[in-house]
Amino acid sequence: MAGEPQSDCLFCKIVDGEVPATIVRETETTVAFRDINPQAPTHVLVIPRVHYPDAASLAAAEPGIIADILRESREVAELEKVEHTGYRVVFNTGSGAGQTVFHAHLHVLGGRGLNWPPG
């Protein structure tokens, strides 16, 4: 069923605590944790507790959780003290855009200059 945990999903396992992660913040609907391969001094992933393969399917099914994730990204930016220096939030959607983990997640990147457009 849509949103149900997937036994073969790495990020569902992080939500369950089966795979360890450095948790930054948790809410009823979201978990924020440090990326294992950080691309910037601040690199945090904000994910929904429910399983959807990407942000588009989450937005279609449960748009309120997309709002929760964006609200959390602001909290993370404040905690990491990048809210004034600038930070980037990204949903890679589809393998052509670099998505490798198919449980929706928002990257929060900051703490260094970020070029635009990205590569």
Q: Does 105 bind Zn ion (CB under 5 A)?
A: no
According to CB under 6 A, which residues from 66 to 95 bind ligand 5GP?
Answer: 92
Q: Does 49 bind Zn ion (CB under 5 A)?
A: no
Q: Which two tokens stand for residue 30?
A: 């979201």
Which residue of the set 51, 84, 103, 105 is catalytic? Answer: 105
Those residues whose C-beta lies under 8 Å from the C-beta of residue 55, and which sit 6 or more positions away, are 66, 91, 93, 104, 106
According to CB under 6 A, which residues from 27 to 56 bind ligand 5GP?
Answer: 33-37
105 is a catalytic site residue: yes
Q: Does 65 bind ligand 5GP (CB under 6 A)?
A: no
Q: Does 9 bind ligand 5GP (CB under 6 A)?
A: no
For the chain, the first-to-last Cα distance in angstroms comes to 36
Q: Does 101 bind ligand 5GP (CB under 6 A)?
A: yes
Q: Helices marked H in 1-119 — which ranges? A: 10-16, 55-61, 63-79
